Homo-oligomer: A and B are copies of this chain.
């Protein structure tokens, strides 16, 4: 990576942390300048504008979150154990970018405005649901998951329960809702 690319990545990283905590409206030039030590011109030399920077920042934060949730999954053979590990990763592994789940944050932040950011969040959700659906179908092919289970429906239920429990846990500042969600999903 050359120096320009390094600077660019540093801006995206700092923007991701600001966006994930404070939303699009709260992604302020002044904070970004303070965090990166760059002037406004130095930041926008690398990006077409705030919206372009925000979508890259979201994609960066989402990529980090996916890495955390996928951690060690491929090394697990049984599909049910893989699903359980995915849930455990969601519950127990701190995400790479502070401020909670980038998908939940951006979904709520962008659903009444910012169509560009909303489009990215919607695609992130679609990819996540598709990956879980594929994993459930794999389990059915291998005889590890019952064939009457509806894969997209189970995927949607997993994501609903986990994201809702994360919202409660963050508001309560206690992990109990997430830990209970983990148990219920394990028993399902």
A: which residues have CB within 8 A of B? 21-23, 25-26, 98-100, 104-105, 107-109, 111-113, 118, 121-122, 125, 153, 156-157, 159-165, 167-168, 170-172, 176-177, 180-181, 184
The answer for the CA separation of A22 and B103 in the assembled complex, in Å, is 17
The verdict on A23 contacting B25 (CB below 8 Å), with A107-B167, A161-B160, A162-B164 known, is yes
The answer for the CA separation of A168 and B103 in the assembled complex, in Å, is 10
- Most chain B CB atoms below 10 A, which of A159, A168, A172: A168
Docked-complex contact B113 and A108, CB < 8 angstroms: no
Q: Could you say which residues of chain B place their CB within 8 Å of the CB of A21?
A: 112-113
The verdict on A171 contacting B111 (CB below 8 Å), with A163-B164, A164-B164 known, is yes
Copies in the complex: 2
Q: Could you say which residues of chain B place their CB within 8 Å of the CB of A181?
A: 157, 160
* Smallest CB gap from A107: residue in B: B171
Docked-complex contact B172 and A160, CB < 8 angstroms: no
Docked-complex contact A122 and B172, CB < 8 angstroms: yes
Known: A156-B180, A164-B164. 9 other contacts (CB 8 A): A22-B112, A104-B167, A111-B170, A122-B171, A159-B168, A160-B164, A161-B161, A164-B165, A164-B167
